[in-house]
Structure 1
């Protein structure tokens, strides 16, 4: 669980500029700041996916919107920034969530060769992918996410906001589901 609780609301509201699963008009909007090399971030993402499936069955597909923002912790995760760039390069080819899932599934294999392999497996245009990585085309976008996180009081990932309010409870199905359902009222 994250220890930095000095601010409790999301500085930059969710928008169409974000990486979104669902609709922004959903009853509940979750914004997660994460790092692809962080095991706790991967665990939280898997938990959110499971909760999202459960709640869409109970309340409908448009009940919960999930947004991911990059917060690579480069001081402790040497491949997190490059992985975030790979996700954004995949996004440029319409494959953000596919790459996102692969990166979290293969956290121990985020070196450049693996990133190219994942891009190839997704059928991405490899020359465009490599060009964007080498020219660091997506760094500014990642920096915007980091900056918005810092303005929201985040110092470590993962961090989660439910309807723009910082979630500081436990990362478990029961408590997170209860917080999400409560936020919809």
Structure 2
């Protein structure tokens, strides 16, 4: 699977791509998640969402470990379910919590926290560095077909900006 297809919600061949640089401990990303899901699911295959990690580790102490846990879940095809759990439980993102969430998803808890989760550090770092190189400074940052979207993260506004019904 190419890096571009690592975490895609929606059709891989959708004509419009929204890339989100996000932080799993960011309340604004949590609030954007259902809006972006509705955008994709209501687009009739016209829009896909690609997630990129941008952990703001200086502000959010668990953002990096949450990103590693999500990557570990992604290795089992469970990135999006793990993302939903992490957003729903942002106030509980310790390693012990991450292990519980892994067990809920049927993943070996030791894969998502501690030393074994570090195998995913390169992917998280690549996302982060790609964001920095692209001028990302905060989360959520949305790119629509490579162009930064600066409007409100609301379904109607996004549909209008993307030119989809």
Under a length normalisation based on structure 1, what TM-score does the superposition of the two structures give? 0.81
Counterpart mapping for 1:103-142 below 5 A: 103-130=86-113, 131-133=115-117, 136-142=118-124
CA distance in 2, matches of 1:38, 1:179: 24
* 1:15 aligned onto 2:13: no
5+ residue gaps, structure 1: 1-13
Please report how far the alpha carbon of residue 64 of structure 1 lies from its aligned counterpart in structure 2 after TM superposition. Answer: 1.1
Question: Bigger radius of gyration, 1 or 2?
Answer: 1
CA distance in 1, matches of 2:112, 2:22: 22
Number of aligned positions between the proteins: 162
Higher relative contact order (CA 8 A, sep 6+): 1
5+ residue gaps, structure 2: none
RMSD over aligned Cα, in angstroms?
A: 1.7
Contact 1:22-1:64 at 8 Å conserved across structures: yes
Please report how far the alpha carbon of residue 23 of structure 1 lies from its aligned counterpart in structure 2 after TM superposition. Answer: 2.9
Contact 1:15-1:24 at 8 Å conserved across structures: no
Counterpart mapping for 1:43-82 below 5 A: 43-55=31-43, 60=44, 62-82=45-65
- Where 2:119 maps in the other structure, the secondary structure is coil
Q: Deviation digits for residues 132-181 of structure 1, max 9, x if unmatched?
A: 22xx1111110000011011110111100111111011222221121122
Under a length normalisation based on structure 2, what TM-score does the superposition of the two structures give? 0.91
Q: Which residue does 2:152 correspond to in 1?
A: 170
CA distance in 2, matches of 1:92, 1:101: 16
Q: Which residue does 1:152 correspond to in 2?
A: 134
